[in-house]
Homo-oligomer: A and B are copies of this chain.
């Protein structure tokens, strides 16, 4: 069932008349195009308000079945291509959000389509195994591909179905490691095995994970107990009372404000140290620290490389594990495969979690965090080989098309453009910041930000906010400088429009 690229294009075009009449994108940059011409266009094509009438009709149907308050509009994925998302009403939008930062190569990338239609891969899609007990014959080889892009210092990996499960299981690995060291043995005692069934110590230990204000790691109870980005994520939920450290509120550009930022970061590190002592004294030691390289849901909050290097040392000195949550920052958007590679750590993290653009969830961990005993890190599916087939295609494209370099180059265009616009329209947005193409700006308040998102959408750019007032930019890895310039033009239009409305 493997088909030629010509046949594939023909197949895609058959179901897709929208693409035929549109003008092709003219070369706006000397850079080579990463996709065939009919995957790219010289601009958005907006024919209705977004959401349009068909999206609104579909919303009504869906609302009969489940809560739809977060739905933006309905997508026609068959008609979407590359960086261009087509909605139910035929609007074609330049997508700098990519399904909450989760699609690495945009829509219908030929390499992913090709992997899907390769008969050798069919079995992986048809027969989902219980990976922890009955793995497929090619599983060790497949995991080697995951290890080839592991952060420096890692040779162990465990797949999971999503980012939340990756983080919950990272915490489990931390607790197992911590208790093994405390009792001096990998094997639990009889007393522990018996007391845990009554939820009592020593079997159910009172260990904690230290998280940060503004941090986000998922919405199950363990993840929620370490997440502090928004009240609506946490309210009404019982949680474990784990320590919450302040995350530096830094000023941008980081280098220009280095002195002031350093004081702020020291304040936060001091507080981390204090919390570690305080919780130790309470008999609830901090077994692990979890942090994102850029707080993403929390509003694109950055700290300096030095902050993270010191935090890593603090964790080590406290004998706490250092867990880096790269669910949103990983897989290349910052210009490196893993955002924490920017930090220049002396000693790598203990565990790095991933999902989203990695197509599959999971955790890289050091050998000492490998659990002893069957079934301790386990569930029925433990991920999905079908997603590993797609990931392999994605990783090949990242390498062949030098997409990390593309993110560095495109990111510079985005950030310089954001700075230029904010210099002209400081009252509309400010605080332009980013690493690679992982960029953001802040609006004066939530309502203006939300109005900007809506205005951008109706001008043909699909994007979204994060935190209280940030606009986040999370394009696919195939987002090139000429796309960035289109986005910036529309953003400047939007700024002018908001300004004229007296924002």
Contact = CB atoms under 8 A, between A and B. Distances in A.
Interface of A: 1, 3, 11, 15, 54, 58, 61-62, 64-67, 69-78, 80, 85, 88, 99-100, 102-103, 107-109, 112-113, 116-117, 119, 122-130, 132-137, 139-141, 143-144, 147, 155-158, 161-165, 168-169, 171-172, 175-176, 178-180, 188, 192-194, 196-199, 203-208, 218-223, 225, 228, 230-242, 244, 355-356, 359, 370-381, 386, 390, 464
Given A137-B88, A165-B162, A221-B240, A69 B235 contact: no
Nearest to A201: B238
Question: Sorted from nearest, which 6 A-B pairs have the closest CB atoms?
Answer: A221-B222, A69-B374, A61-B140, A193-B231, A70-B374, A77-B127
Nearest to A114: B126
Given A134-B72, A203-B231, A221-B225, A66 B143 contact: yes
16 contacts: A1-B11, A64-B155, A66-B156, A66-B158, A67-B373, A71-B134, A73-B134, A75-B136, A76-B137, A77-B127, A102-B380, A103-B128, A172-B219, A203-B236, A220-B220, A232-B374
B380 A67 contact: no
Number of copies: 2
A74 B136 contact: yes
A123 to B, nearest CB: 4
A125 B228 CA distance: 33
A162 B163 CA distance: 12
Contact of A123 (B77, B168, B244): B77
Contacts of A80: 127
Given A134-B99, A135-B75, A356-B380, A188 B236 contact: yes
A126 B99 contact: no
A211 to B, nearest CB: 11
Given A67-B377, A108-B123, A161-B162, A130 B99 contact: yes
Nearest to A115: B126
A454 B135 CA distance: 18
A374 B58 CA distance: 18
Nearest to A62: B140
Contact of A204 (B78, B237, B381): B237
A271 to B, nearest CB: 15
A371 B69 CA distance: 10
Given A67-B371, A175-B238, 7 more contacts: A74-B135, A76-B137, A77-B127, A107-B126, A165-B220, A204-B235, A232-B374
B62 A380 contact: no
Contact of A380 (B72, B143, B179, B355): B355
A438 B261 CA distance: 62
A375 B88 CA distance: 22
Contacts of A235: 188, 192-193, 196, 203-204
Given A162-B379, A241-B199, A107 B88 contact: no
Contacts of A223: 220
B65 A162 contact: no
A204 B234 contact: yes
A126 B203 CA distance: 44
A76 B161 CA distance: 22
Contacts of A67: 370-374, 376-377
Contact of A139 (B74, B178, B194, B206): B74
A498 to B, nearest CB: 23
Contacts of A198: 244
Given A1-B3, A102-B381, A238 B143 contact: no
Nearest to A365: B66
A172 B239 CA distance: 11
Given A220-B168, A238-B207, A100 B197 contact: no
B133 A72 contact: yes
Nearest to A213: B197
Contacts of A377: 67
Contact of A65 (B69, B140, B196, B379): B140
